[in-house]
Amino acid sequence: MTFVEATCSAPVNIAVIKYWGKRDTALILPTNSSLSLTLSQDDLRSTTSIRADATFTRDALWLNGSSVALDGEGRMTTCLEEMRKLRRQLEQSASQKDIDGKALSSCHLHIVSENNFPTAAGLASSASGFAALVFTLAKLYQLPENASELSRIARQGSGSACRSLFGGYVAWEMGASADGQDSLAVQVAPETHWAGMKALICVVSDAKKGTSSTSGMQRTVQTSTLLQERINSVVPERMAEITKAINQRDFDTFATITMKDSNSFHAVCMDTFPPIFYLNDVSRSIIAVITELNRLSTEAGKGLVAAYTFDAGPNAVIYALEQSMPEIIALVSHFFPGKDRKEGSLPAGFNVKVSTVFPPESVSRLIHTRVGDGPRVLSADHSLVASDGQPKRIA
Amino acid sequence: MTFVEATCSAPVNIAVIKYWGKRDTALILPTNSSLSLTLSQDDLRSTTSIRADATFTRDALWLNGSSVALDGEGRMTTCLEEMRKLRRQLEQSASQKDIDGKALSSCHLHIVSENNFPTAAGLASSASGFAALVFTLAKLYQLPENASELSRIARQGSGSACRSLFGGYVAWEMGASADGQDSLAVQVAPETHWAGMKALICVVSDAKKGTSSTSGMQRTVQTSTLLQERINSVVPERMAEITKAINQRDFDTFATITMKDSNSFHAVCMDTFPPIFYLNDVSRSIIAVITELNRLSTEAGKGLVAAYTFDAGPNAVIYALEQSMPEIIALVSHFFPGKDRKEGSLPAGFNVKVSTVFPPESVSRLIHTRVGDGPRVLSADHSLVASDGQPKRIA
């Protein structure tokens, strides 16, 4: 045997309590805890194959079929080095198999990673990508570490990646220690906990490339006069409240906090100097439409039916229970017509004045998915590495 | 003589430290102090004529040529009653002339008020309108009260109206007393203090009618978790800083605080639940364009050249010194072409990617004005009341 290999996939997660701000930019330690829902890998995933071969002469990485330079520094290297360190500890403490007499931790790696969703969709791929990287390395290296321990390392690749190590409802506890040992993800509830929890991703076209979240959040930390209030008071209270709401499957509270925290996050972005805008007119109208739908439903005594949330971009993610989704999709399709959806309709009593009907493809795509499980180990059939150690697919 | 009459005009003001939130909705007592610049009445004004006639059988009001019912309650009535009370005190303390034997305070009034700018322009007319009402009544009633004392009454018509009783740079001090006696406007500096201070109003078209400021600000008070921080900490510091900057004619500090406070105000609107959006994609792009212009200028060692500020709507007001205005108008005209402006141009080195060029008339009008004086007493030639006591102009 000249090589060992592992292939795994990891999910995307969309936060309901937002991560925005680092207290340590090198270790990626956040200024507040956050909480997300893991979305199903059946719809959205990063898949990563990693091969270790004694004959490889260097570490190499391909993302979506394109070679990416590994320059021996940066976040990718941090994750690789942390994982190699764990492997070396294992090799020292026990007799582990080598490859052709060479310790596995000393072998170079070929890493091939792909997302099944277009980068153009504006969905953060770094979370699922780093989660897949760290999880696949853990399998390759046969490490005993649990998901929370791995999340501590994935966090150093991309903060929110730590939450993609788990399925279901996942908290990233900010921790208190300076070295970040207690800043890691824990599962609040598994994906099976709340039957029927669905997500509708509305991919919003935007002419203008927004501020990157890495630079944006640091500008907020440096300049916003409202962020400290969010960090010290608003988020801790919401973390406790939404955890309880999830445990009790209380959709009204879950939805209210989700929408408020999305608003709060975009508020501190606007309070940044110069201000950061991620929401555009389409995003604003999605909010207005969901707000009106919830008003109608609440007045009818049925409580809230949908919760919008927006990350660092104009795309909306709408969380709702399964029975509400047909109505929500019809509503979105009415105001935001597009090729991939039927003509939309409105519930009786809906105030159409809350939004204009937008030109076709203002929402370019709707992705209807659900809460899903954590990283999966895939069989060798799914390997992205060809027999010659190069990627099967080159872009 | 069967009647007495007075005609006055009052200016618009645009705040640089924003008023948002009432601690007493009946008395219109604000949750924070605010500060504005009074704009020239040569360009924007409310003109009001008030006639008292012993033969009038009721109080009557015409706004922009349309009759408006005075139902004996509401803010207009509050202002009328407060002013009549002052007149009665005067009549009791001194021998004042009556009209045909009837005390002036007992005569009914015909009030005719007009704005020289279209309501559709989205410029708040209530501030100039209530300032003109109260100031004209003070003249009609020959009251000795000074502008700050009158501002206390105008405040009860429309909060920001109190600031339109002065020219130049005007603070509305929130006060502490429950009856509102110390919640009034004071002049920070006269209009002549800072030569060359100009304002460019960019009237932005918006399909959707926004939330009214009266209902919006109370929703913010009730639901925003960030407003208290703005009220208690952010605004008091900025009030002191910008007052000093105005006194020292320090444009850099003035502009920075102006932009930050506009951002902060819109941030707490977004943090409201449901959220309030006044800025649209055109507003966002005006911010991006001014930010880039300031970046260029700062890098060239010339400091900031422009400050944007947005009230409860998508219109931008850009404060700048006279020598910078041609460049700013050319820049705005480039990204927001329109019938009333020449083809625009960009300064060398300007990053055009900060904004797309918008369709013509996205900014429907540019109004170039300056800091101006307080309410003016006009001659009888300017009366809006015809000899029969009815408005000269009916819409």
For position A72, what pLDDT does the model report?
81
pLDDT higher than threshold 80 for residue B385: yes
- The pLDDT of residue B291 is above 70: yes
> Is 60 exceeded by the pLDDT of residue A1?
no
Whether B267 and A268 lie within 8 Å, measured CB to CB: yes
Confidence band, pLDDT 50/70/90 cuts, at residue A76? very high
| pTM for the structure as a whole | 0.95
Q: Distance from A203 to chain B by nearest Cα, in Å?
A: 18
Read off the pLDDT of each residue in B379-394 and give the average, rounded to a whole number: 95
Angle between helices B147-154 and B74-93 (to 10 degrees): 140
Contacts of B270 in chain A (CB under 8 A): 263, 266-267, 270
pLDDT more than 70, % of chain A: 97
| pLDDT of B122 higher than 70 | no
| Contact: B263, A275; criterion CB under 8 Å | yes
Q: Which domains does chain A have, with CATH numbers?
A: 3-188+378-382 (3.30.230.10), 197-370 (3.30.70.890)
Measured between alpha carbons, how far is A258 from A353 in angstroms, rounded to an integer?
25
Task: Tell me the residue length of chain B.
Answer: 395
A51 and A389 in contact (C-beta within 8 Å)? yes
* pLDDT value of position B328: 98
Residue B174, both tokens: 């929130």
Confidence of residue A120 (pLDDT cuts 50, 70, 90): low
Instruction: Count CA within 13 A, CB hemisphere, residue B96.
Output: 21
| B277 vs B250: CA distance, rounded Å | 31
Contact B229 A226 (CB under 8 A): yes
Mutate to test the interface with B, among A277, A293, A335 (most CBs of B within 10 A): A277
Q: Would you state the pLDDT for residue B54?
A: 92
pLDDT of residue B210: 78
In chain B, whose CA is at the least distance from the CA of A262?
B271
B284 touches chain A (CB under 8 A): yes
Cβ(A188)–Cβ(A371) under 8 Å? no
pLDDT band at B119 (very low <50, low <70, confident <90, very high): low
Average model confidence (pLDDT) across chain A: 94
- Tally the C-alpha atoms within 13 A of residue A143's C-alpha that lie toward its C-beta: 24
Mean pLDDT score across all residues of chain B: 94
Name the minimum distance, in Å, from the CA of B268 to any CA of chain A: 6
> Residues of chain B with pLDDT > 90: what percent?
88
Residues 183-222 of A with CB under 8 A from B: 207-208
Residue of B nearest to A210 (CA): B354
User: Does B1 have pLDDT greater than 60?
Assistant: no
Q: How far apart are CA B314 and CA B310, in angstroms?
A: 7
pLDDT tens-digit series, residues A345-391: 899 999 999 999 999 999 999 999 999 999 999 999 999 999 999 99
Condensed to tens digits (0 to 9), the pLDDT of residues B253-279 reads: 999 999 999 999 999 999 999 999 999
**Is A272 at the interface with chain B, CB within 8 A?**
yes
| pLDDT digit string, tens, across residues A126-156 | 999 999 999 999 999 999 999 999 999 999 9
Three-class DSSP category at A123: coil
Residue B165, C-beta contacts closer than 8 angstroms, at least 6 positions apart: B10, B131, B134, B135, B147, B148, B150, B151, B154, B185, B374, B375
Average pLDDT for residues A111-129, to the nearest whole number? 83
Q: If you average pLDDT over residues A107-123, what whole number do you get?
A: 85
B277 CB neighbours in chain A (<8 A) are: 279, 284, 287
Instruction: Kindly state whether B291 is in contact with chain A, defined as any CB-CB distance less than 8 angstroms.
Output: yes
Interface check for B268 against chain A (CB to CB < 8 A): the answer is yes
Residue B100: pLDDT band (50, 70, 90) is confident
**Cβ-Cβ contacts under 8 Å for A79 (sequence gap 6 or more):** A130, A133, A134, A137, A153, A154, A156, A157
**In sequence order, what E strands does A12-139 have?**
13-17, 22-24, 29-30, 34-38, 45-53, 60-63, 66-68, 108-115
Does A284 reach chain B within 8 Å, measured CB to CB? yes
Of A264, A275, A291, the CB nearest to B225: A264
Confidence of residue B84 (pLDDT cuts 50, 70, 90): very high
* CB pair distance less than 8 Å for A208 and B256: no
Q: Is B226 within 8 Å of A233 when comparing Cβ atoms? A: no
Residue B123 half-sphere exposure toward CB, CA atoms < 13 A: 26
> For residue B38, is pLDDT > 90?
yes
Contacts of B230 in chain A (CB under 8 A): 225-226
Per-residue pLDDT at A125: 80
- Reported as a single tens digit per residue, the pLDDT across B148-203 is 999 999 999 999 999 999 999 999 999 999 999 999 999 999 999 999 999 999 99
How many other C-beta atoms lie within 10 A of the C-beta of residue A90? 17
Of A155, A146, A142, A144, which Cα lies nearest the Cα of A181?
A: A155
pLDDT at A206 over 90: no
